[in-house]
């Protein structure tokens, strides 16, 4: 018999009563659990757990939308007019060198703080006009163009972003 009361979840069907259980003469059930109509929680439990399902569906929807959003421009990405963003006048600048080295450099008048990505960090004292060195490492320049030196190796060109 069907009830005229609307089901709290219209897309779900109510479980049917299994009816009489058939046995095979030896007292064992005939068929599998799917044919026995194993039932879930009753109507009261369904209404109580409805808020949990709604919260889970909302969480999944929000996570899906967040995953589909596009992030803002990253360092070195072109700006809205297609040109590269301007190099900051103060603060750290990210450099990518021709040999693959990546640096974060913050140069002030008396020193340059240098962090080699995947390597050591150091403070290089000012050794001349836009030249910072501790004897082993040296950084020359600033802004969008610089050079990086390690030991007696030839300096490599670096681009700031």
Residue 125: CATH number of its domain: 2.40.128
Question: Across-strand partners of 145?
Answer: 142, 159
The answer as to whether 79 is a domain residue is no
> What pLDDT score does 87 carry?
57
Look up the pTM and report it. 0.48
Are 154 and 99 contained in the same domain? yes
What domain range is 37 assigned to?
7-69
Alpha-carbon gap, residue 104 to 160, rounded angstroms:
9
Q: pLDDT digit string (tens) for 5-34? A: 555 555 555 555 555 555 555 555 555 444
How many independent structural domains does the chain possess? 2
- Residue at which a domain ends, from 69, 84, 114: 69
| 88-94, Cβ contacts within 8 angstroms, sequence gap of 24 or more | 93/142, 93/143, 93/160, 93/161, 94/160, 94/161
The answer as to whether 1 is a domain residue is no
Are 97 and 63 contained in the same domain? no
Q: Say if CB 147 and CB 154 are below 8 A apart.
A: no
Give the lowest-confidence range in 31-40, 79-88, 94-103, 121-130. Answer: 31-40
In 4-98, the DSSP E strands lie at: 93-97
**Share of residues in the chain with pLDDT > 70 (%):** 53
> What pLDDT score does 34 carry?
47
What CA–CA distances, in Å, run from 70 to 59, 67, 129? 19, 8, 42
SS3 55: helix
Are 132 and 100 contained in the same domain? yes
The answer as to whether 128 is a domain residue is yes
Are 12 and 65 contained in the same domain? yes
Are 115 and 156 contained in the same domain? yes
The answer as to whether 123 is a domain residue is yes
């Amino acid at each position: 018999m069907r009830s005229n009361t609307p089901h709290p979840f219209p897309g779900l069907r109510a479980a049917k009563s299994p009816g009489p259980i058939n046995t095979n003469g030896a007292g064992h059930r005939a068929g599998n659990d799917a044919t026995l109509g194993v039932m879930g929680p009753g109507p009261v439990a369904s209404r109580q757990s409805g808020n949990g399902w709604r919260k889970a569906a909302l969480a999944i929807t929000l996570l899906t939308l967040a995953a589909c959003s596009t992030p803002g421009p990253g360092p070195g990405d072109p700006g809205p007019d297609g040109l590269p963003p301007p190099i900051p006048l103060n603060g750290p600048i990210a450099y990518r060198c021709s040999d693959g080295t990546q640096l974060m450099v913050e140069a002030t008048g008396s020193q340059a703080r240098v962090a080699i990505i995947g390597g050591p960090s150091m403070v290089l004292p000012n050794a001349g006009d836009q030249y910072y060195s501790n004897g082993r490492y040296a950084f020359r320049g600033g802004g969008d163009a610089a050079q990086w030196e390690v030991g007696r190796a030839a300096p490599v060109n670096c681009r700031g972003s």
